[in-house]
Amino acid sequence: MAKKEKINVRVITLAVHVVILLYLPIALDAQPLQPVRIHYGGGGDWYGNKTTWMNILNKARNDLGLQTTKRETAAKILDADFVQYPMAYIAGHGNIVFSEEEAAALRLYLESGGFLWADDDYGMDKSFRREMKKVFPELNFVELPFSHPIYHVYYQFNNGLPKVHEHAGGPPKGLGLIFEGRLVCFYSFNTDISDGCEDAQIHNDPPEVRRSALKMAVNILLYALLN
């Protein structure tokens, strides 16, 4: 990258930080930010990673000054209040199943401005991809380039997703579903960002790994709000 381009990137990043720090807390002040964890069928452990969101939201409050709740909520896709949350989260190790009605409702939620972060805990990949084909049969997951804004919206991840746990080995992949030019689902695969964000004693991840996971999670949260 040329020197002029590097300067432009720094200027753009600084401008984004100013907008985030000055305006986003004001916009969210009336209603504290809260993500929704999807309570899905199929027998998978949708309820895992119990401390993940407490730590992500705490970091967002401390580092960015965002007005947030202390933790996420949980809801089924067809629950009446599901659509009120700007960001949905799905994770687990086991089977995921959406009914046809849930798939249609999730599609409408995402088409209408909602955002889904899916984090593979190692074991949900096959069923998650299958069920998302119900939601967007015409779309395929694509690997996002390291230049994508989700890696740079606040913290800088020049090499894409940080690696937290080995799982299948090899590098992690940040995958996305893009509908009409907009990223509506971000799928962090082969790393386990959620585990990295849990309380330190749960997985005994090295401090630098845990810091990277929390920063990446805040980036995803922030991207969901600004996208």
What is the sign, positive or negative, of the torsion defined by CA atoms of 148, 152, 158, 162? negative
CA pseudo-torsion sign 213, 219, 225, 227: negative
Q: Compute the residue count for the chain.
A: 227
Q: What pLDDT is stored for residue 4 in this prediction?
A: 37
Q: Which domains does the chain have, with CATH numbers?
A: 3-226 (3.40.50.12140)
Report d(CA 141, CA 133) in Å as an integer. Answer: 10
Q: What is the pLDDT of residue 6?
A: 38
| Two structure tokens written together for 209 | 């790994």
> Over the chain, what is the mean pLDDT?
90
Residue 189 backbone phi and psi in degrees, to 5: -120, 140
The closest of 62, 35, 59, 108 to 211, measured between CA atoms, is 59
Share of the chain above pLDDT 90, in %: 82
Q: Is residue 10 predicted with pLDDT exceeding 50?
A: no
